Structures are given as structure tokens and as C-alpha cells.
Amino acid sequence: MRVEDHGIGIPLREKSRVYSLFFRGENAIEEEIEGTGLGLYLAKALTRLLNAKISFTSIEGVGTTFTLAFPVHAENKNGETEPAENEVQEPTFVS
């Protein structure tokens, strides 16, 4: 799943901190855009719980695209669910 905006983007120097609790980009603060810095922190926490992945690309002044990848399970011939071949087994977390 992808979520895209055409907003102010995330400054390159701040990309490593976007999932931090209460983090707000300097450009968002300067533009007086409202927010608490909880949304992406919670999104990251939920992706961990779901064994999913979240990633993003962003260009300051152009916009940001977040991508979510969820694990997929397949039913075997005994009717039990098991990981599909392309399932995310070991998620990579960005601190």
C-alpha cells in the first residue's frame, strides 16, 4: 500500500528521525503546520506488531510517499495457514 502527498516533504538531514516519538520536521514547524509528532511513531509501532515494513521516499518541497508492505499467508493443503514465499520474515526497523 502506498500513501503519497504533494506537501512540504521531509528534509534529507531529518529522514533518520521521522519515526521518533514527538518528532516534527523543522520545515513543518517553520510553516506552522499543526501536528504532534505521534503519527509516524505509531505507524512504525503498528508495522512492528503486524510483522510488516514501512518505508518512504521524500523530496523537500515536492512531497513524500510512504510504502507499507504486509505479510501474506497462504493456506496449505491441510487448511492451515503458513507464510507465503514472499512473506516478510524478518522486518528491518529504522530507529
Element counts in the chain: helices (H) and strands (E): 2, 5
Tell me if 60 is assigned to some domain.
Answer: yes
Tell me if 92 is assigned to some domain.
Answer: no
Residues of the domain holding 70: 2-83
Location of C-alpha cell 514472499: 86
Give CA 23 to chain center in angstroms. Answer: 14
Number of domains the chain is built from: 1
Residue 25 has a CB neighbour count (10 Å cut-off) of 22
Tell me if 53 is assigned to some domain.
Answer: yes
**Phi, psi for residue 65 in degrees, rounded to 5:** -125, 125
pLDDT at 80: 73
Tell me if 72 is assigned to some domain.
Answer: yes
Tell me if 54 is assigned to some domain.
Answer: yes
Q: What does the block give as the cell for 47?
A: 508495522
Tell me if 95 is assigned to some domain.
Answer: no
> Looking at the whole model, is its pTM more than 0.95?
no
Residue 75 has a CB neighbour count (10 Å cut-off) of 10
CATH code at position 45: 3.30.565.10
List, for residues 5-41, the tens digit of each pLDDT value: 999 999 999 999 999 999 999 999 999 999 999 999 9
Tell me if 70 is assigned to some domain.
Answer: yes
d(CA 45, CA 11): 22
Q: What does the block give as the cell for 25?
A: 520536521
Tell me if 88 is assigned to some domain.
Answer: no
